[in-house]
Structure 1
Amino acid sequence: MTVQRSEEDAAVWPLSRDWLRGTCRRELLPVWLVLGGWTVLWGAYAVQNLLMRSWGIFPMAARILLSGGPSGGLHLYSVRPDFQFGPVSVLVAAPLAHLSLHGSKWVAGVLMTVAGLWLVAVIAGSKARDVGIPARRPLLVGGLLVMPVWPLLSLTSGHLDDVLALGFGLFGILQVQRRNPVWAAALLALAVDSKPWALPFGVALLALPRTQWLKAAAVFGGLVAAAWLPFFIADPATIAAVKFQLHISYGSVLSIFHLSGPIPPWVRPAQLVVAVAIGMLAVRAGVLQAILLATVAGRILLDPAIASYYTAGAVMVAFFMDRTRSWRVPWFTVAVVVLLWAPQLVQLGNDWYVVTRWLRLLWGVGTLAALVVTLLRHGRPVAQEAGQTAA
């Protein structure tokens, strides 16, 4: 017979009328009040000294892209090879480029913060394959853990590209689980077109039935090419953006191994290999959320920078991963909060970088190892999920 599903487990899509009605039901109102106040509290803390320090590069890129001449339009990345974000991020920022810088900071900051709370609600209602209306406990626990960290990304740094990459990646995974190859491929491609580090997310498409692989690959490859190729065709000097090298900061995990100066050529390929390898295990085990966490963990472990907003992405995808498990305590999320975020609240001078880079090493290696063990122990491949709703 068919298993009767509760309202909380019903498959609905976020922002649909049913989903919005469900998230506003009476028993969730106290939770929303708590999380709203909690978010405002940590948002105020995040901006007390600095508001969106990096936001200005996005409206600047939009103005360059929408202008003409040899230093505008599709010459964007040859003119500014340090802009390491994708065209989708530029286009999303374009409407705000008409506002004053200060005004656009506040509008973008509020929107990205609300988007973080929305993603928490979506994750709180996510199951193995469906998106349901969030239950009270997961929503409260997730919000209390995630929202103190998220303002590092949405309000302190203002990195629109990471918000878009994480959001598109999350929804792309959900569409793969719903066996929708076109939307899944489109959303995962938009993640890559927002920020190139999201490229390993595409591994999730292998979880689709083999008959859908060609369609998904065509959509994914087509949208990635459509976003990036025009810049290389219009201006071959755009290759300079690919060759652009960051320098290894003192707090990077790489500095533990006495690396300094420009980033070694093996770092980016190593990040890709780690994410793809664990991503393949995730596809085999049917735990696609692990692809996002493995990508972010590999980035933090091997990145030359020590940007605090990386932690915001880590806590969000860790919560997404925790929702696949039956644990009462979301251990992956707690680990991010304890090892990556809490130490950032302590200001002990440059010597503190020595401690925090070891904590990043501990978290990165520990998270990747835990993912491998979890995925190898997960005995239910994706193909078997189709029979979950029948008994």
Structure 2
Amino acid sequence: MNVNARTVRWLLTSWAASWFAAMAWHGGMSWHFFVQGAQALADADDPAGGLHLYAVAPVLQIGPVAFLVTEALRVFGGRPDLLAAQLLGTAGGAYVLWQAGRLGRRLSPWPVLFFVPVWMYLAVASTHLDDVLALVGGVAALAAARAGRPILAGLLLGLAADAKPWALGFAALLLLLPGWRAMLRASASTAAVIALGWLPFFLADPRTSRALHFTIANTPLSALRALGFTDPRTPPWDRPVQALLGIALGIIAVRRGRWPAVLLLAVAARIALDPGTNRYYAAGAVVGALVWDLAGSRLRFPWWTAAAALSLFASRSIPLPAAIHGWITLTYCLATVFLLVPRQPTDYGRTKPAGPGYRRMPVWPREYRPGCGQTQRP
């Protein structure tokens, strides 16, 4: 590594460390939910705990995997368990950066600059461990699918959904596996892991189904209101449509060779139709945008990552009318649909000469397309 590269690495590490320090001291805003839920889940003798947890407290829209990880971190006790969760979340962000670089071109400083503040808000300031695990699991599942490892891809996707149910919207990434048998094996693996995580609760207490119908306030800042849905709380159709729309968009993306957009499209479908407007939601869009910018975009500057960080995260610090924030969110989410537009017929190895800032996304000939038996780049 030359001096300049070493200096850049040091500056980026300092950038991340400064954000961690700034957010850690007064961070952990949501950590008490995880501690309370983990304690209740571990207390099998409590009629309000154990496998009755979701029946008694449907407000806990946190998956069992996140509670199990929390319980493991509680060994540190008190304030140290929060710090351990924050460090774990930070390590998850480092993994996402590393894996996104492996999926696409070599990681450059620009994506890191935009990614770090948003991720640190999720992992350190709010300490939403469930979303951290869901996003890390989604990126890992995508990498496993690209490597042609069906069981691992299905396992990781299932664990992501067991940490946060909305991660099921990433399911289209399984279409990247080579051949229908691999896809079926991965789907069976995902279904088995999800059943293992959630079915015991439904079998132990049928009232667990209440968690499926739990609603939250439809805030004035939501993109859902900008779309014209003014229900005071979550519409009954909302959650299923979020998942189905995310999966459908992901399927179209894979079929058109735009696989790096799968995560971003699933997150955009969720945010566009979600009545909640928690600031940490932006981390999902930034993760998806990062994968697209590094593995799918032709441009060197990470425009989608920058736009997600500025429009969905930084703009929330600007005192604008609530409806304006909703329209900003909706505009970004709708813009992601343009990632599905096919490129000009310059693919299959016959492209225009590359100019400054130009990077061709691989578009595979038939024998290299997902589902045709090949998993590596030609």
TM (norm. structure 2) is 0.87
Tell me the alpha carbon deviations over residues 133-192 of structure 1, each in whole angstroms, 9 at most, x when there is no partner. Answer: x83xx2422211200211110111110011101111111011111111111111111111
Which residue does 2:138 correspond to in 1?
Answer: 169
Name which of 197, 201, 209 aligns with 1:231: 201
Q: CA deviation at 1:233?
A: 0.3
Task: Name the CA distance, whole Å, in 1 between partners of 2:244 and 2:197.
Answer: 24
**Does 2:322 correspond to 1:338?**
no
Name which of 41, 54, 65 aligns with 2:18: 41
- 8 Å contact kept, 1:171–1:187: yes
Task: Name the CA distance, whole Å, in 2 between partners of 1:124 and 1:320.
Answer: 8
The residue type equivalent to 2:333 in the other structure is: G
Which residue does 2:350 correspond to in 1?
Answer: none
Tell me the alpha carbon deviations over residues 12-50 of structure 1, each in whole angstroms, 9 at most, x when there is no partner. Answer: xxxxxxxxxxxx9987533331111111222344356x4
Name which of 121, 125, 141 aligns with 1:156: 125
Task: Name the CA distance, whole Å, in 1 between partners of 2:269 and 2:44.
Answer: 38
Tell me the alpha carbon deviations over residues 201-254 of structure 1, each in whole angstroms, 9 at most, x when there is no partner. Answer: 122212321122332222111111111100000111111111111111121122
Specify whether residues 375 and 74 from structure 1 end up closer, same or farther in structure 2 by C-alpha distance, changes over 3 A only: farther
TM (norm. structure 1) is 0.84
Matches within 5 A, 1:1-391: 28-47=5-24, 50-69=26-45, 70-127=47-104, 135=106, 138-208=107-177, 209-256=179-226, 257=228, 259-324=230-295, 325-346=297-318, 348=319, 351-367=320-336, 369-374=337-342, 380=364, 383-385=367-369, 386=374
- Say which SS state the counterpart of residue 117 (structure 2) adopts: coil
- Say which SS state the counterpart of residue 300 (structure 1) adopts: helix
| Unmatched tracts of structure 2, length 5 or more | 348-362
The residue type equivalent to 1:97 in the other structure is: R
Task: Name the CA distance, whole Å, in 2 between partners of 1:109 and 1:25.
Answer: 32
Task: Name the CA distance, whole Å, in 2 between partners of 1:142 and 1:214.
Answer: 35
Specify whether residues 376 and 238 from structure 1 end up closer, same or farther in structure 2 by C-alpha distance, changes over 3 A only: farther
Task: Name the CA distance, whole Å, in 2 between partners of 1:286 and 1:273.
Answer: 20
Task: Name the CA distance, whole Å, in 2 between partners of 1:389 and 1:168.
Answer: 23
- 8 Å contact kept, 2:61–2:211: yes
- 8 Å contact kept, 1:200–1:291: no
- Say which SS state the counterpart of residue 170 (structure 1) adopts: helix
After TM superposition, the structure 1 stretch with the greater mean CA deviation from structure 2, 239-248 or 278-287, is: 278-287
Specify whether residues 81 and 297 from structure 1 end up closer, same or farther in structure 2 by C-alpha distance, changes over 3 A only: same
Q: CA deviation at 1:322?
A: 1.2
Q: CA deviation at 1:303?
A: 0.6
Q: CA deviation at 1:91?
A: 0.7
The residue type equivalent to 1:289 in the other structure is: P
| Unmatched tracts of structure 1, length 5 or more | 1-23, 128-133
- 8 Å contact kept, 2:65–2:197: yes
Specify whether residues 388 and 226 from structure 1 end up closer, same or farther in structure 2 by C-alpha distance, changes over 3 A only: closer
Specify whether residues 387 and 123 from structure 1 end up closer, same or farther in structure 2 by C-alpha distance, changes over 3 A only: closer
Specify whether residues 258 and 169 from structure 1 end up closer, same or farther in structure 2 by C-alpha distance, changes over 3 A only: closer
Specify whether residues 388 and 229 from structure 1 end up closer, same or farther in structure 2 by C-alpha distance, changes over 3 A only: closer
Task: Name the CA distance, whole Å, in 2 between partners of 1:169 and 1:103.
Answer: 28
Task: Name the CA distance, whole Å, in 2 between partners of 1:114 and 1:43.
Answer: 11
Task: Name the CA distance, whole Å, in 1 between partners of 2:143 and 2:367.
Answer: 16
- RMSD in angstroms over aligned alpha carbons? 2.4
The residue type equivalent to 1:330 in the other structure is: P
